[in-house]
Structure formats: C-alpha cells, structure tokens
Amino acid sequence: MLRSLGFAVLIVVMLIVGLLVLATVQGHVAWLVWSPSRVTVNGKPNGYVHTCAARSFLILTRTDGKQHQSYLISWRDRRRLIHCGDWVAPRFPLFPMGGDINPPCSGLAYTWEVNPRDEVADVPFLVRDGFVQFLTEGGNKIEANW
C-alpha cells in the first residue's frame, strides 16, 4: 500500500513538473530570480529585486512600511511601471510568474481601502541597465541597483 501511494505521489509530481516545463517553453510562465541588489526608499536601504531570466522586466519590492509593496518594471517590449496592488513578490530565491488571465502584478486586482498603497507618480521614470529610479504619489524616491 505504501509503495502504491509513493508511486501515485511520484506521478503527480512528475505531472506538475511537466506542466511547468511546457508552460515555460510556450512562454506562459516566466521565472523570476532573486538578484543581489540595493533598493533604497528616500536614500535608506529597504527592499529586494527579482529579475526575469530574459532580463526584460523585474519586480522591485520595498520593505519600508508595515506592508511590503511590489512594482513591475519592464523596458524591452513596452516601457512601463505599475504598482502590483495587494500582490507582493515572495522572498523565495526563485519563483514562477505568469498566467494569461489576471496574472500576479497585473495592477487589476487590489483593495486600496484595506491596504493603502503608494502608487507610481505620473512623471517619467529612469531605467537603464542595472538601475531604476522613480517617484511615488506619496513623495517617495525609490532607486534600485542590481
């Protein structure tokens, strides 16, 4: 009985791994990797960065408040910077992100009344290889080097 249960668990794990590999190959899932970085909020170190393996976007997470906040920054296909709402990047060194329908950090699903958030200010942001700088509506200056 124990052998049958172990075999069933092995089959389920192999199925999940196979689906993740297929989704990655088809481009539905991107893998984000923790990147050694320096994130500052108003000049004080507070945060971490995960970068996409293709180096086309990153997730910056600031840790200066009671509730952490993440921002999606992309610069290859379309330059954009959005607040991730209630979704916050995990502290894991590697995690998958994707989905065609309301993916994490789409900026669509949030409840700001419950969790106040510091939106991105409507001014240009600076992004270049290994560096990003932007302002928030709360008057905070956020920078990251990776």
Q: Which residues pair with 29 in a beta bridge?
A: 98
**Strand duo 69-74 + 29-35: pairing:** unpaired
78 alpha carbon, distance to own chain's centre: 17
Helix, strand, coil shares of the chain as percentages rounded to 5? 15, 40, 45
pLDDT per position in the chain (146 positions), as tens?
A: 888 899 999 999 998 888 777 766 776 778 889 999 999 999 999 999 999 877 788 999 999 988 899 999 988 777 889 998 888 999 999 888 775 544 667 655 444 444 568 999 999 999 888 899 999 999 999 999 98
pTM of this prediction? 0.78
Exposed, middle or buried, 63 (CB in 10 Å: 0-12/13-18/19+)?
middle
Write the DSSP symbol of residue 80. Answer: E
pLDDT of the residue at 99 = 57
CB 58 within 8 A of CB 49: yes
Q: How far apart are CA 72 and CA 82, in angstroms?
A: 5
H or E element that contains 40: strand 38-41
CB 82 within 8 A of CB 136: no
Write the DSSP symbol of residue 43. Answer: T
pLDDT of the residue at 113 = 47
pLDDT of the residue at 39 = 97
Q: Which of 12, 87, 84, 89 is nearest to 51 (CA)?
A: 89
